[in-house]
Amino acid sequence: MDLTRERVLAYRVARHGLHRDTARVTDLAVLDLGVQDGGAPRAALAARLPDGADLDDPALVVVWAFRGAPHLLRRADLPELAGSLWPRSDADAIARLGGSGTKFKKAGIPGLTVFAGGARALRDVVDREKPRGQVSAEVTAALPPEYSYDCRVCAATHVYGSLFQLVGLFAGVEVRAQTRPTTLRPVADRCPVPAESTGAGPLVEAYLRLHGPSTLAHAAGFLDTTQAQVKPVWPEGLVEVRVDGKPCYLAEEDVPALLGAPPADLVRLLPPHDPLLQLRDRDLLVPDEARRKRVWRMIGNPGALLVGGEVAGTWRTKTAGRALAVTVEPFARLASAARKAVEDEAQRVAVARGHTEARVTITA
């Protein structure tokens, strides 16, 4: 089956709930993999929910999860997610630890031992709400010296940051970034640290459902591990399709939704780290390399302007008193209808972030 990128993007836009056809926040499909909290998860929710929908729900919680990044997730999903995301082997754990993983390997400390020790230490330390800095210091003191490094900037010794955040979900720790400083506290009714992995199969299936058709390499990239670690849990019975000539895969049950996805006749302001932007085939979403570099940067990503299923520009915000200044930089001049829609979406973003209004500047 040959597919165009337009057909695939229409499917992904629909799967991500960007048609605003979901009434309750907890029913959003993107929460199956979480909404990365880059400081604006409410904006990602507002891009998907109709007017008047409640963006706040006590059934949601922010924890360090995928790739050690803070994610907004359903509380009820945390036990199963912890089992699925727990590394399946020492090699898997070392791969996820990145640069610090190499140091643990040289020190002869198995990857799973590192994860288990880090998770238990973090769990023991966070017995009540505490500032993040205090937690880091206490975890550092609780772990063997091989788990830490000398930070030249702080002139202090810290537990490796990758480990500290990668084990947050497993330790049952909630991240409260809305406080200053950021605090950590126990998740209500938190489960024990996993003894072993229950398998990342459900996560791979969710990735294909939201970001498919896709590949083994892209799923592994999302989980921040190697293809060798994902291959044993790669789902059976997938349908192979070709997207612009490249082989990709999707669950057979999702093929009707792929072929029947409605046109993405909409305008949305997606915040940095929005679920739609977490795909690993970035060249499919933004084919032009120069434009990709404007959307995904080494540090300080802007938001993405979505027009008709295409990323048509970037946007940033700045607080202006009680208002939110929203500057939109389209890649090309927008039609009048799209400009009006951008202004409407900016108002949604402002309200979602707690401002009374948006002051919009469109540069082209």
Half-sphere exposure of 237 (CA within 13 A, CB side): 6
Q: Is the dihedral of CA 56, 254, 295, 20 positive or negative?
A: negative
What pLDDT was estimated at residue 39?
67
Task: Note down pLDDT in tens along the chain; length 364 residues.
Answer: 999 999 999 999 999 999 999 999 999 999 999 999 866 689 999 999 999 898 989 999 999 999 999 999 999 999 999 999 999 999 999 999 999 999 999 999 999 999 999 999 999 999 999 999 999 999 999 999 999 999 888 788 999 999 999 999 999 999 998 888 999 999 999 999 999 999 999 999 999 999 999 999 999 999 999 999 999 999 999 999 999 899 999 999 999 999 999 999 999 999 999 999 999 999 999 999 999 999 999 899 999 999 999 999 999 999 999 999 999 999 999 999 999 999 999 999 999 999 999 999 999 8
